[in-house]
Amino acid sequence: MNRRSQKIIGINPGTRYLGIAVSDGSELLDCRIKVLNGKWSEEKIKKAIRIVSDIIDQHEPSVLAIKKLHPSRRTENLLRLTNKIKNFVRRQKKKLYQYSIKEIEKSFIEGGKLNKRNLIEAMVKLYPELHQDLKNEQRHKNMYYYRMFEAVGLAKLPFFSLEISERKK
């Protein structure tokens, strides 16, 4: 990875919500949930691609990291959407990494049980500014807010892995 450009976009795909996060080295630039309203359709896939395209245009990352789908927890629609996003990213000639939820959790949870709650706590510890986002999402009872926190882990993981490998040298 080019050390001068360390912008990374993390994408947690879903058929209703996309978790998106952008980091630049150790700084979190942006994180959000984007809603994909309506019934499943080709237009919904195009909307997801437009969201990804807009984020790429806005931040000009060197790397994108996308959540690897678990074989038993994916639908055909989610698999299709994820493949379309990956193909779009490759056509943009961006480096693409894929990480499973367990890889994300293992990288950020120290000594605790690997689960979404502990991952969220680890992300808030890493980025205290996320504490208010967590409170807002819990107050609104958005059960998909964890997608954003997973995207934050995805946006940090390639840089985090690079930091660890450089420390070992």
Q: Is the pLDDT of residue 1 over 60?
A: no
Cβ partners under 8 Å of residue 145, min gap 6:
33, 133, 134, 137, 138
Residue 2 domain flag: no
The residue range of the domain holding 112 is 7-168
Q: Please give, one letter per residue, the 3-state secondary structure of 37-59.
A: CCCCCHHHHHHHHHHHHHHHHHH
pLDDT of residue 42: 93
What is the CATH classification number for the domain harbouring 142?
3.30.420.10
Tell me the one-letter amino acid at 13: P
Residue 106 domain flag: yes
Residue 1 domain flag: no
pLDDT confidence tier of residue 44, bands split at 50, 70 and 90: very high
% of the chain exceeding 90 in pLDDT:
66
What's the domain count of the chain?
1
- Mean of per-residue pLDDT scores for the chain: 87
Q: 128-168, pLDDT tens digit by residue?
A: 988 877 776 666 666 678 899 999 999 999 876 554 444 44
Phi, psi of 98 (to 5 degrees): -125, 135
Q: 74-101, pLDDT tens digit by residue?
A: 899 999 999 999 999 999 999 999 999 9
pLDDT of residue 142: 65
Q: Is the pLDDT of residue 13 over 50?
A: yes
Look at 164 and 44; give whichever has higher pLDDT.
44
